[in-house]
Each structure stands twice: as structure tokens, then as C-alpha cells.
Amino acid sequence: MARQWRIEYKGALYHVLSRGNQRQPIFRDDNDRTMFLDIIAEASERFLIEIYAYVLMENHYHLLFKTVEPNLSKTMQWIGTTYTRRFNLRHGESGHLFQGRFKSIIVGNDAYLSQLSYYIHRNPLRAGMVDRLADYQWSSYNAYAYKKKKPDWLKTDLILSQSGAKDKHRAYRLKVQRYSEEKTKIWEDVRHGLIYGSETFIKKIRIRFLKNGSEAELPQHNRLRRDMDREDILRRASSAINCDPSIFSKPGRLPEAIKKKRDMMIYYLWKHSGMNNRQVGEVFGLTYSSVSKIVKSFRNENESNRELVKRYEDVISQFKV
């Protein structure tokens, strides 16, 4: 089984998810949930982590936190091992409780952290566990939305300060209520299953942490290694086919010859850059569905038009990743 690539450094922000083995419950009652939160409190002091948000579901949990020291793996290993041991002792059981390795996403900055907190807090609502998020007590939502008493280890100021409103708790509550379509958007914006942040942040991660050559057991590392900055790849692609990309944003219908060049660039970016349909569309001022149609059409024509295939191969050889 491929390992998840762990990027660790001082002050890193993470969204962490861990599920029960074979998706079985990891919390059987409120005593289990209280025990888990006690362990989180211990971990925050033991490993110097700042916890911003959490939700405990039946068979999984989400955490949002910062590691003051580069110790994500040690922290999560201790949390998983400690809770499993105490859970098994309490219920008279043995064996694994969690499903393999925990999943983690590194977060670019405070604004992205806020977006993830909205997603995390809406989990009980999406799962149909409650009709109102205020009725679910096993998350940090009420501390944010209604200024309810919170444990000392839960740090809410950073995310609440993002609103800039006088009543930060009401502003947060309204944000969460309006954030009903966040799941699709968030997971589209998570690059390589690893990073949730801006292109600038992704570039910094690439420069700082990528190793030379492929890592057979780390597919996320390899995808990021192949990824290129969108401006750089667009510049190189434009140069290769002798076409100024600014022409694509001009009003009016594109001449057929220019349209062919645009479609070739769209197909190349879609296939080789690691960008999704929405991100490719942003480059050319097109919608997600328009990019999808262009890719499908170009791919179909590529299969039957030898001349187009040769031209495409000649062009991409000049700027291949």
C-alpha cells in the first residue's frame, strides 16, 4: 500500500482525518468521546500543538491544528496508539482500532484554515445526525458560533479574527450556514491530495521539500514533482506554438486557427500539469464544463487524425514536463 507523504516543518497547519478499521465505530458512547478529547488535551501539551477545530463522528474524526515543532507523525502516532490502548482496555478488546494511516492535508494560511473549519463543523449536518449544528456537542462549533465555554487547549481567536466583524461569533455562524457547497469546492482545490493553498504556497512547498527523482512509495511526491507553476507552463506552451495567450481573453469569436492552438494548450495543461478542469478554465476564461468538452473533443480527434497527432507530439516535445 502506498504511503502518504508527510511534509513537516515548524508552524505547519494541518487538517487531519482518521477512520475506524473497516469504517467501524471508534466512539461507542460519550465516555469514549470524552476520553478522546482528554487525549487531545494531553497531546496539545506534550507535542506543543495548537488545536483550532475538531469534530468527532461515529467512525472517524477531523482535527485542524498547527505543529509548533515539525512533529506531525509523532503526534498522530501517539494519539492513535494511546486512544486505541485505552479504548481496548475499557471495552475488553484487542487489536487495531484505526484504518491504516491517518490522512493529512497541509494548509496554506489562516484563510484556508477558516474554510476548512466551516467544512469540519458541518460534518454532523451532512451526515444527518442533527438538524441544527448547535445541537451537536462533540465538535468545536458552539465555541465558535455561540461563544460557549471551551477547553483551554482549543484556540479559536485565529479563525474568528478572519471575519473582521464586531460580533465575530455571529459572523462565524453565518459563514458556516452559508457554506453548504464547500465539500466539492474544497476537494477540487486540494492539490495532489496533499496541499490546500495558493499557487505561491504550492511552489514554496515544491522548492523546499521535493527530492530529486521519483519515490516509488510516495505517489503524492511524484505528482507534485511533475506539477509545474501554471504561469511557467502557460508561458512555455505559448512559446512552443507561437501564440500570445492574451488573445484568448479578447471578446468575440476566436479564428479557427487560434481556437485549435487554444484547444491544444488546454488539452496539454489538462493532461500534464496536474491542474483540474476548473483551474484550466481559469487560465482561459472558460467554465469547468467547457474545458471538459474541449478535452473530450480534442482527445477524440487525436485518436483519428494522424496529422494532428504528429503536430501535437512535435509541439509538446518542446515544453514537455
pLDDT for 61 beyond 60: yes
Cβ contacts of 68 within 8 Å, gap of 6 or more: 10, 11, 48, 49, 50
Q: Which residues pair with 18 in a beta bridge?
A: 61
**For position 200, what pLDDT does the model report?**
83
**Which pTM value belongs to this model?**
0.69
pLDDT for 59 beyond 70: yes
**For position 161, what pLDDT does the model report?**
93
**For position 213, what pLDDT does the model report?**
42
The SS3 assignment for 102 reads coil
Higher-pLDDT residue of 209, 84:
84
Higher-pLDDT residue of 177, 234:
177
* Domain map (residue ranges) of the chain: 12-201, 228-316
Question: How many helices and strands (H and E) does the chain possess?
Answer: 15, 6
**pLDDT interval class at 308 (50, 70, 90):** low
**For position 80, what pLDDT does the model report?**
96
Q: Which of 153, 156, 159 is nearest to 36 (CA)?
A: 153
pLDDT for 202 beyond 90: no
- Taking residues 71-91, what's their average pLDDT? 96
pLDDT for 229 beyond 60: no
- Taking residues 51-72, what's their average pLDDT? 97
Number of neighbours of residue 117 by Cβ within 10 angstroms: 29
**pLDDT interval class at 53 (50, 70, 90):** very high
Least trusted range by pLDDT, from 79-83, 84-88, 248-252, 257-261:
248-252
CATH top-level class of 12-201: alpha beta
Instruction: Select the CATH number that applies to the domain covering 228-316 from these four: 1.10.1750.10, 1.10.3720.10, 1.20.870.10, 3.40.50.300.
Output: 1.10.1750.10
**pLDDT interval class at 2 (50, 70, 90):** low
Distances (CA, A) of 279 to 7, 44, 228: 24, 37, 13
Backbone angles phi, psi at 139, to 5 degrees: -150, 175
Cβ contacts of 221 within 8 Å, gap of 6 or more: 5, 210, 211, 214, 215
Backbone angles phi, psi at 134, to 5 degrees: -60, -20
pLDDT for 212 beyond 80: no
Higher-pLDDT residue of 168, 199:
168
